[in-house]
């Protein structure tokens, strides 16, 4: 009990102590994450992220006999039979089968409808387990895990009462996202903003008179990267919304720099981009594809999956766009290539299920 109290006291500081790191190194490979998180008073996400930073991996070693048995039975065995054959988690079995190039040839792959995929995504980000999702969708758990892995959807741990209380106390007072990330180790900016929005929490629009004057002076002649230098503590969405409130617009020369084109082609570029944005938001039903929230189009972004600055970017290709809310769009700043494959999988799944 004394050790538990020490861990609890350390957890409040957010930083990991040497005692916690030693405990993590010694036990991560052979102890369940849930048990380890309980021991050191950290969330399961925080434990997994810190373990990843330290290069720790849970290794489910497969013997030659197990690999042979998997090859012989994977295509025809049911999920329950596979679970009874091997001591490994079902997710590990499916991943191993994929690495070996095994396919369930003798089983007819069930069709997933568009609504089911949307429900799968929403329940996963709400923190439901694979088993709970399978029960709600009336699907085999193996089918749920397999489809979730294909779409690169990660399960999220539900928020504890302690985390929720801390968020209520500090969200509106904390203006820097980095501070929030340090308070909620293991949570992404997307997760924090979504939970705060669900609780009805919002950050005050804290712009000083000097910042407003600078924005009015510079907005029309500056591209977004230059504005980030002028307003280092503001996000793209905050800058654009503030400019919208003042009725500020970019001049043609600045837009030409944004689009890497000449001034005479700007009207045509704006028309095409506006139509592309409308099509992306309409296809995604005005729902953020990261956190699932539905908002007015003013608070939504049509995000280019391959960034516009990339020479390979097709600016007006529908499948190169995805709908994100302002908070989620801000959260992937400078991380566009990390989430590229995930977003392409979401878009392609919509295309495949469009006619179902």
Residue 101: is its pLDDT beyond 50? yes
Mean pLDDT for 26-50 is 76
pLDDT at res. 9: 39
Q: Which range is most confident: 21-25, 261-265, 348-352?
A: 21-25
2 — pLDDT class (breaks 50, 70, 90): very low
Residue 3 confidence (pLDDT): 44
pLDDT at 146: 77
What pLDDT was estimated at residue 106? 47
Rg (CA), the chain: 24
Mean pLDDT of the chain: 76
What's the pLDDT tens digit per position in 113-133?
A: 777 887 887 777 666 777 778
* CB neighbourhood size of 317 (10 A): 12
Per-residue confidence (pLDDT) for residue 256, from 0 to 100 = 77
What is the Cα 237 distance to its own chain's centre? 18
Q: Answer yes or no: is pLDDT of 144 > 70.
A: yes
pLDDT confidence of residue 115: 75
pLDDT band, very low/low/confident/very high, at 7 (cuts 50, 70, 90): very low
Q: Which residue has the higher pLDDT, 298 or 141?
A: 141
Q: What percent of the chain has pLDDT over 70?
A: 80
10-14, 78-82, 86-90: least confident range:
10-14
Average pLDDT over residues 169-183: 73
Q: Does the pLDDT value for residue 301 go beyond 80?
A: yes
pLDDT at 48 over 70: yes
Say if residue 6's pLDDT is above 50. Answer: no
pLDDT class for 156, splitting at 50, 70, 90? Answer: low
Length of the chain: 356
- Cα 43 from Cα 37, distance rounded (Å): 6
Is it the case that residue 163 has pLDDT exceeding 70? yes
Give pLDDT, residue 178: 67
The average pLDDT across 313-335 equals: 81
pLDDT of 356 above 50: no
pTM of the model: 0.41
DSSP string for 211-265: HHHHHHHHGGG--HHHHHHH-TT--HHHHHHHHHHTT----HHHHHHHHTS-GGG
Residues 36 and 25: beta-carbon distance below 8 Å: no
What average pLDDT does this structure show over 187-207?
70
Rounded mean pLDDT, 6-35: 67
* pLDDT of the residue at 190: 62
| Buried b or exposed e, range 180-204, using 16+ CB within 10 angstroms | bbebbbbbbbbbbbbbbbeeeeeee
102: nearest Cα among 140, 74, 77, 81: 74
CA atoms of 308 and 328, how far apart (whole Å): 18
Burial of 232 (0-12, 13-18, 19+ CB in 10 A): exposed
């Amino acid at each position: 009990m004394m050790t538990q109290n020490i861990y609890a006291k350390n957890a409040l500081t957010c930083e990991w102590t040497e005692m916690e790191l030693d405990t993590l190194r010694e036990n991560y490979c052979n102890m369940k994450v849930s048990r380890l998180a309980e021991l050191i008073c950290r969330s399961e996400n925080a434990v997994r992220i810190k373990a990843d930073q330290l290069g720790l991996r849970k290794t489910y070693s497969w013997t030659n006999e197990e690999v042979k048995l998997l090859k012989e039975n994977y295509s025809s065995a049911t999920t329950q039979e596979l679970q009874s054959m091997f001591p490994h988690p079902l997710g590990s079995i499916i991943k191993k089968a994929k690495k070996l190039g095994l396919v369930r040839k003798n089983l007819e792959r069930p069709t997933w409808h568009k609504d089911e995929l949307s429900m799968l995504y929403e329940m996963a980000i709400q923190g439901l387990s694979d088993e709970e999702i399978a029960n709600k969708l009336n699907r085999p758990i193996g089918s749920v895990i397999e489809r979730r892995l294909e779409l690169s959807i990660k399960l999220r741990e539900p928020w504890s009462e302690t985390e929720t209380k801390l968020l209520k106390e500090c969200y509106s007072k904390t203006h820097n996202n980095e501070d929030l990330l340090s308070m909620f180790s293991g949570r992404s900016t997307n997760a924090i903003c979504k939970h705060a929005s669900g609780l009805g929490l919002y950050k005050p629009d804290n712009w000083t008179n000097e910042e407003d004057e600078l924005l009015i002076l510079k907005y029309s002649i500056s591209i977004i990267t230059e504005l980030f230098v002028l307003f280092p503590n503001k996000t793209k969405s905050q800058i654009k919304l503030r400019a919208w409130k003042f009725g500020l617009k970019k001049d043609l020369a600045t837009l030409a720099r944004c689009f890497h084109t000449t001034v005479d082609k700007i009207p045509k570029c704006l028309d095409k981009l506006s139509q592309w944005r409308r099509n992306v938001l309409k296809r995604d039903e005005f729902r953020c594809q990261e956190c699932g929230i539905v908002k007015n189009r003013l608070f939504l972004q049509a995000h280019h999956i391959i960034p516009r600055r990339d020479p390979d970017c097709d600016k007006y290709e529908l499948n190169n766009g995805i709908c994100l809310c302002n908070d989620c769009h801000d959260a992937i700043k400078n991380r566009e290539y990390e989430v590229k494959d995930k977003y392409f999988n979401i878009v392609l799944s919509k295309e495949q299920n469009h006619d179902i």
